[in-house]
Structure 1
Amino acid sequence: MPRKAARLIGVSLLGVAGVLVVVAAAGLGFRAYRQHLAAETLAIRSPKGVQEGGFVDIGGIRQWIQIRGEDRDNPVLLFVHGGPGGSTLAISSGWRPWEKHFTIVQWDQRGAGRTYGAAGDALAPTMTLERMTQDGVELAEYLRTHLHKDKIVLVGHSWGSFLGIHIVKQRPDLFYAYVGTGQVVGRVTFEKQFEITIAHLQALAHSAGNSEAQAELAPIVARPLINPQNRLVADKWSKALGLPSIESVQLAGPIPPPFMPDFSLLDWYNWRKGMAFSAKYLRGREGPMFKRDVASLGLAFPIPVIFIEGDTDYNTPAGPAEQLFNQITAPHKEFVWVHGGSHFIPFERPNEFLAELVTHVRPLAGN
């Protein structure tokens, strides 16, 4: 009887394994089919278009870039992603209309996405703001040569806005303009963000009638200092009270991220690994965004500066960015409010963001 039972169990397990294999194969087949359709949707067919991606030698390592646009004569726009480590390759299908007006370059920074996948943890000693700033300069020089341009436009988002300002400050001659969105100023950005987060949590606790949350949050509301103990309380009630997070972002675009063409399961693995890896060296109280501030670079910019900010950005509140902007001197500067816009305007409201780029940035690009 035990042998018979064992055989039955073995047969059952094989059956379950077979079903799982069939389901997995069907899922992968469906994904491949959707990716094929997505590739057709996103294909650039114009005679003067450009659609390419590959590794480029930058800063002594291979770094991945993607270049897309319908007309090579259009201005080149380098998008410097946030995170740190937050490659945008899989979440940018909403930018397809941008490619009628600009040649869009996406860059997996040192420690991010495919660039991380190519080098792995060996990058650790080089994960510094100074090295990544130089990476950005080298990339801009490469793009000028490769795409036959005198200058390019740099758009920096979140961490990318902090890195982006360092890049344009080091070599302003390479750029027509700097555009910041979700602009990080430095420590004051995160102090303001924490203050706003705690106030939101207290309001949510009040609405929910959660007396325990109100009691724990009250002393922090009175004195919202960023320290380990206060962060633990904030994290606890952010989850319990359902404070909106990055995971709740509503991306706009014709292609859901899991079905983006030429983006493998290995790419997803490296995307997640790269986020964690980059955060280890670039985020937190010991990271450059918290220990340094943009104003220390100097407030005089020899190129145009445009900030495009959402008035409901709770990740990098626009107040510090507006204060910085008011102190900046530049040959041309504009602060553009997107009403109802969050931290993720380029991804949630790409058409609106494009309209601002066409109105405020395209005329500055010289062609």
Structure 2
Amino acid sequence: MPRKAARLVGVSLLGLAGVFVMIAAAGFGFRAYRQNLAAETLAIRSPNGVQEGAYVDIGGVKQWIQIRGEDRDNPVLLFVHGGPGGSSWPISSGWLPWEKHFTVVQWDQRGAGRTYGAAGEALAPSMTLERMTQDGVELAEYLRAHLHKDKIVLVGHSWGSFLGIHIAKQRPDLFYAYVGTGQMVGRTTFEKSFELAITHLQELAQSAGNSEALAELAPIAARPLMNPQNRLVADKWSKALALPSIESFRLAGPVPPLFMPDFSLRDWYNWRKGMAFSARYLRGREGPMFKRDVASLGLSFPIPMIFSEGDADYNTPSEPAEQLFNQITAPHKEFVRVHGGGHFIPFDRPDEFLAELMAHVMPFARDRGPT
């Protein structure tokens, strides 16, 4: 009997494994089918269009870039992604309308996405703000030569706005304009975000009738210092009260990230690993976003400066960005307030963001080729 039972168990497990294999094969097949459909949806077919993806030698490292646009004569827009480490091209299908007016360049920064996948942990010693700023400068110079442009438009989101404004400050001659969205300015951004999070937690606790949470949050709300003890309390009640995460946003695009063409499961792995890897060196109390302040760069910029900020952004609140903006001097500057906009305006409101680009940036970006 034991031998017969063991045989039955073995046959059952084998059958179960077969079922799992069939389900997995069906899942992979469905994903491949959807990726083929997505490739058709996203294909650039115009005769003067550009659709490229390649590794480029930047700062001694092979760094991945994607270039897409319907007309090579259009201005070039370099998008500097956030995270840090949050490569944006897997979640950018909503930007198809942008590609009618701009040649859009996505860049997997040092430590992000495919760039991380190609080099891995060996990048660790070079994960500095200074090195990544120089990467951005070198990439802009490459794009000018490769796409035969005099200057390009620089757009930075979240961490990318912190890095992007450093790039713009170092080599303003490369850019028609700088656009920051979810603009980070340094420690004050984190402090304001923490203050707003405590206020939001109090509101959630009040709605839930949670007297314990209200009692623990009250002294922090009275003096919202972002010290380790207060952060522990905030983290505790963020989980208990289900404070919305930074990842809770709606993607406005025809292709969900899982079905983006030419984006393999290995790419998924490197995307997630790259974010964790980059955060280790660039985020937190020891990272440059916390220890550096944009104002220390100097507040004079010789190019147009546009900030596009959501008034419902609790991750990079608009108040510190507006304070910085008011101190900046530039030949032209505009602060665009997006009512009801959160942290991911380019992704969840791509058409509205494009309208802003057309109204506030395109007048400066008419390019007739290198001079």
TM-score (norm 2): 0.98
Question: Superposed, which structure 2 residues align to 1:172-251 within 5 Å?
Answer: 172-251=172-251
| Cα distance in structure 1, aligned partners of 2:178 and 2:209 | 46
Q: List 4+ stretches of structure 1 deviating above 6 A.
A: none
Query: 5 Å matches for 1:93-242?
Result: 93-242=93-242
C-alpha deviation, 1:246, in angstroms: 2.5
Cα separation, 1, equivalents of 2:138 and 2:235:
39
Question: How much does 1:247 deviate?
Answer: 2.8
Q: String of CA shifts for 1:41-68, please: whole Å, max 9, x gaps.
A: 0001000000000100000010000000
Question: How far apart are 1:188 and its partner, in Å?
Answer: 0.5
2:253 corresponds to: 253
| Structure 1 residue aligned with 2:2 | 2
CA contact under 8 A between 2:251 and 2:348: conserved in structure 1?
yes
Where does residue 67 of structure 2 map in the other structure?
A: 67
Distance in 1 separating the partners of 2:299 and 2:24: 55
> Normalised by the size of structure 1, how large is the TM-score?
0.99
What is the CA RMSD across the aligned residues, in angstroms? 0.6
- How far, CA to CA, are the matches of 1:246 and 1:328 in structure 2? 28
Secondary structure at 2:270 match in 1: helix
* AA in 2 matched with 1:228: P
- Residue of structure 2 equivalent to 1:288: 288
The answer as to 2:346 corresponding to 1:332 is no
2:297 maps to 297
Alignment of 1:35-46 (within 5 A): 35-46=35-46
Shift of 1:290: 0.5
Tell me the distance in 2 between the aligned counterparts of 1:258 and 1:50.
Answer: 24
What residue is the counterpart of 1:57 in the other structure?
57
2:31 corresponding residue in structure 1 = 31
Aligned equivalents of 1:56, 1:211: Cα separation in 2 = 56
Q: CA deviation at 1:240?
A: 1.6
What is the CA-CA distance between 1:227 and the residue it aligns to?
1.6
In 1, the alpha carbon distance for the partners of 2:362 and 2:174 equals: 16
Distance 1:247 1:339 in 2: 20
**SS of residue matched to 2:155:** strand
- Partner SS state of residue 248, structure 1: coil
C-alpha distance in 2, partners of 1:238/1:48? 50
2:9 is paired with a residue whose SS is helix
Deviation at 1:234, TM superposition (A): 1.1
Letter in 2 for 1:26: A
Cα distance, 1:209 vs. partner?
0.4
Question: How far apart in 2 are the matches of 1:229 and 1:33?
Answer: 50
What is the CA deviation profile of residues 148-199 of structure 1, one whole-angstrom value per residue up to 9, with x for unaligned ones? 0000000000000000010011111000000000000110111000000001
- How far residue 360 of structure 1 moved from its aligned partner, in angstroms, is 0.4
Unaligned runs of 5+ in 2: none
Cα pair 2:127 2:281 within 8 Å, conserved? yes
Q: AA paired with 1:268?
A: W
In 1, the alpha carbon distance for the partners of 2:118 and 2:227 equals 36
Deviation at 1:341, TM superposition (A): 0.3
| SS, match of residue 149 in structure 2 | coil
- How far the C-alpha of 1:366 sits from its partner, in A, is 2.5
Equivalence for 2:277: 277
Contact 2:65-2:107 at 8 Å conserved across structures: yes
Q: In 1, distance between residues paired with 2:270 and 2:241?
A: 31
Alignment partner, residue 83 of structure 1:
83
For 2:14 and 2:118, how far apart are their aligned partners in 1? 37
1:321 corresponds to which letter in structure 2?
A: A
Counterpart in 1 of 2:352? 352
Question: Equivalents in 2 of 1:270, 1:229: separation in Å?
Answer: 33
Query: For 1:11-32, what per-residue CA distance to the aligned partner results, in whole angstroms no more than 9, with x for missing partners?
Result: 0000000000000000000000
Contact kept in structure 1, 2:246 and 2:315, CA below 8 Å: no
Counterpart Cα distance in 2 of 1:152 and 1:198 = 40
Paired residue secondary structure (1:133): helix
Distance in 2 separating the partners of 1:161 and 1:61: 22
Counterpart-to-counterpart distance in 1, 2:221 and 2:246: 23
CA distance, structure 1, for counterparts of residue 256 and residue 235 of structure 2: 29
Q: CA deviation at 1:243?
A: 1.3
Letter in 1 for 2:219: P
Q: Secondary structure at the match of 1:47?
A: coil
> Amino acid of the residue matched to residue 239 of structure 2?
K
Tell me, what secondary structure is at the counterpart of 2:247?
helix
